[in-house]
Amino acid sequence: MLDDQKSDADLMRELVAGRQSVLRTLITRWERPLFSFVYRYIQNEHTAREIIQETFVRLYTKKERYNPEYPLSSWIFTIASNLCKNHARWLRRHPEVPLETEGDRDEEGNAKRDTIPSNLPDPSQLADRNEEIRELRKAIAGLPHDLKTAMLLHHFEGLSYKEISEVAGCSVRGVETRLYRARKLIRKRIEKTLSEDRLIQKKKPSPPVRRGLISEVLEDWAKA
């Protein structure tokens, strides 16, 4: 049987038995789901890819700890979510700052020089002009770890409540509660931001229509 056709549990058994080449099959199989989860959690592509790499390294170095009676998804997402949590904790303790002074910014406040990679959205994110999606991302980014993990695994990775409970280390009932709380918080944050934005748009006076320079000159000539 080809490696591609083998179950995760079989591949893990072979990995434990010393057949390192099956790691590549596992990487091909799990890179996309991991990216889907980690990218949405971290919201920075470079960091997400680093975390995915580390997840596979840990999957290999801790392979003996895997229990084939459980789906690999629970175990692999447990590793990834712990790494995401550690990264978030590290970021809180080591906030990243731009390598620049006040004078290094232009009139609009944009950096003139390169900065240390930060957790801010990358250009592909900035290109995303969908306001609602942007607000959704912000709302998810602001969720506590437990709620965020449950939310992302349920909505985007399609894990069952049982599998999520194994990742999160809580009961199935606990998963339901977390999902309920996460949805509530997201809705609240999105509604608040969008309504505030609309309010600001309403209050902001529309800019005066600027006539063309040629028309102005022609009018001045006519007056003269």
Partner 1 sequence: MNPDDNLEKLLRKWQPDFKPDPMLAEHVEDQIDVLENRRKSSLLASFREWFRGVTASPVYAGGLALLLVVAGIGLSEIWNGSKERSPDQLTSIYRLSVDPLYRLDASANEARLAAEAALATGLPLDESLVWLQEELELDQPQYDAFLSLHTQYQDSFNELFAELVSLKSGYQKFETDRKSDDVIDFMALYELLQKQKELRKLSEDLTRELLIKSSELMNADQKTRFLELYKGVSPSLEARSYTPINA
Give yes or no for residue 219 binding partner 1 (CB under 8 A): no
Give yes or no for residue 62 binding partner 1 (CB under 8 A): yes
Element (H, E) at 147: helix 145-155
> Of these, 6, 58, 138, 181, which contacts partner 1 (CB under 8 A)?
58
Give yes or no for residue 136 binding partner 1 (CB under 8 A): yes
What is the rounded CA–CA span in Å between residue 138 and residue 120?
11
Q: Measured from the CB of residue 155, what is the shortest distance to partner 1 in angstroms?
A: 5
Q: Measured from the CB of residue 9, what is the shortest distance to partner 1 in angstroms?
A: 17
3-state SS assignment for residue 105: strand
Locate 63 and state its tokens: 């392979």
Give yes or no for residue 160 binding partner 1 (CB under 8 A): no
Q: Measured from the CB of residue 210, what is the shortest distance to partner 1 in angstroms?
A: 37
Give yes or no for residue 11 binding partner 1 (CB under 8 A): no
Closer to partner 1 by CB, 115 or 156: give it.
156
Buried-exposed string 102-135: b where 16+ CB fall within 10 A, e elsewhere: eeeeeeeeeeeeeeeeeeebeeeeeeeeeeeebb
Buried-exposed string 81-97: b where 16+ CB fall within 10 A, e elsewhere: bbbbeebbeeeeeeeee
Closer to partner 1 by CB, 100 or 176: give it.
176
Buried-exposed string 189-205: b where 16+ CB fall within 10 A, e elsewhere: bbeebeeeeeeeeeeee
Q: Which range of residues in 7-15, 110-118, 181-189, 200-208 is near partner 1 by CB under 8 A?
A: 181-189
Give yes or no for residue 40 binding partner 1 (CB under 8 A): yes
Locate 102 and state its tokens: 């006040």
CA 76, 185, 145 angle in degrees (round to 5)? Answer: 30
Footprint of partner 1 on this chain (CB under 8 A)? 20, 23-24, 27-28, 31-32, 35-36, 39-40, 49, 52-54, 56-58, 60-62, 65, 74, 78, 82, 86, 93, 124, 130, 132-133, 136-137, 155-156, 165-167, 169-172, 174, 183, 186-187, 190
